[in-house]
Amino acid sequence: MSSKNPLIITVGAGKGGTGKDNTAANLAVTAAYAGRVPVIIDLDSQGTSVKWGKRREQAPSVIGTDAARLRTVIDAVTKKGADLIIINTPPHTADTESNPEVTSLEASRVADLLLIPVKPSRADVETLPTTFSLHALSGSTAPALVLFNQYDVRTTTLLRKAVAEVDRLGYPRIPDPVPLLAEFQHAWDEGMGVAEYAPNGTAAQEMSRLWSYVETFMAGRA
Ligand SMILES: Nc1ncnc2c1ncn2[C@@H]1O[C@H](COP(=O)(O)OP(=O)(O)OP(=O)(O)O)[C@@H](O)[C@H]1O
Ligand SMILES: [Mg+2]
């Protein structure tokens, strides 16, 4: 049983439907294959990741909680040996009673890395200043990286424009965008990660590349 500090990655974004649950779950499964002991903490009362977790028996387990109990849950899973904690959050602009901004602030405070999935669209990119401001407002000095997700491989014009805009704004990003791939949707439906659903498929390769990048990036900061 280890209680070394785990790596904590928060997955957050202003817009809904950008792929927060999908990224959190698949990174966790891929990292488990790479030898990590991951746990997902789901702060979204929608419970999408919690429901995915209930459809599976193997790691990672998914724990649903709220911002007030987040640190207690982190301590508990760390004592049980988790060395990677991935926190899924609600869209921080969501108009719900659970106060997503408070949730995002707390999820930023505890994170070693904030990963921000966005679709390559103007509407998504326009939310980034608020996301980065909230992260700074939390007092966190952890890095935040934009992750372009769900780009259409047939028409990359929008992706090129969105990447150019993010670079112009000066927001750091994961170099490789993740395409829109049906494998992600089928895997989710089965309560699986793509590394389990189609280990040799494109989506699994994309997630391996993403996990390697994140691991190397964080190792470089240690
Ligand atoms: N790269 C991808 N390829 C294909 N489908 C994807 C991809 N990423 C996400 N999706 C699909 O897009 C939908 C939204 O994804 P997800 O639930 O992860 O988004 P979210 O940001 O957590 O949404 P919400 O803001 O509502 O919580 C899901 O149906 C998911 O399967
Ligand atoms: Mg979600």
Q: Is the dihedral of CA 175, 134, 37, 148 positive or negative?
A: negative
CA 165 to chain centre: 22
Side chain identity, residue 76: A
Question: How much distance in Å is there from the Cα of 127 to the middle of ligand 1?
Answer: 17
Atom of ligand 1 nearest to the CA of 25: 18
Q: How far apart are CA 200 and CA 181, in angstroms?
A: 14
Question: How much distance in Å is there from the Cα of 58 to the middle of ligand 2?
Answer: 21
Question: How much distance in Å is there from the Cα of 222 to the middle of ligand 1?
Answer: 31
**Long-range contacts from 208-212, C-beta under 8 angstroms, 24+ separation:** 208/30, 208/34, 209/176, 210/23, 210/27, 210/30, 210/147, 210/174, 210/176, 210/178, 211/27, 211/30, 211/31, 211/34
Q: Give pLDDT tens digits for 73-82.
A: 999 999 999 9
User: Residue 101: which H helix or E strand, with range?
Assistant: helix 100-109
The residues spanned by each domain of the chain are: 7-219
- If one looks up domain 7-219 in CATH, what number appears? 3.40.50.300
Q: Give pLDDT tens digits for 27-60.
A: 999 999 999 999 999 999 999 999 999 999 999 9
Cβ of 206 below 6 Å from ligand 1: no
Q: How would you write the pLDDT of the chain (222 residues) with one tens digit per residue? A: 445 799 999 999 999 999 999 999 999 999 999 999 999 999 999 999 999 999 999 999 999 999 999 999 999 999 999 999 999 999 987 555 567 688 999 999 999 999 999 999 999 999 999 999 999 999 999 999 999 999 999 999 999 999 999 999 999 999 999 999 999 999 999 999 999 999 999 999 999 999 999 999 999 987
- Helix, strand or coil, per DSSP, at residue 209: helix
Give the DSSP per-residue string, 152-184.
-TT--HHHHHHHHHHHHHT--B-SSPEEP-HHH
Q: How far apart are CA 63 and CA 189, in angstroms?
A: 19
Q: How far apart are CA 40 and CA 83, in angstroms?
A: 11
Count how many residues are written for the chain. 222
Cβ of 22 below 6 Å from ligand 1: yes
Distances (CA, A) of 17 to 118, 180, 181: 9, 13, 15
Cβ of 21 below 6 Å from ligand 1: yes
Atom of ligand 1 nearest to the CA of 18: 21
pTM for the model stands at 0.96
Cβ of 103 below 6 Å from ligand 1: no
Cβ of 201 below 6 Å from ligand 1: no
Question: How much distance in Å is there from the Cα of 21 to the middle of ligand 2?
Answer: 5
Cβ of 12 below 6 Å from ligand 1: no
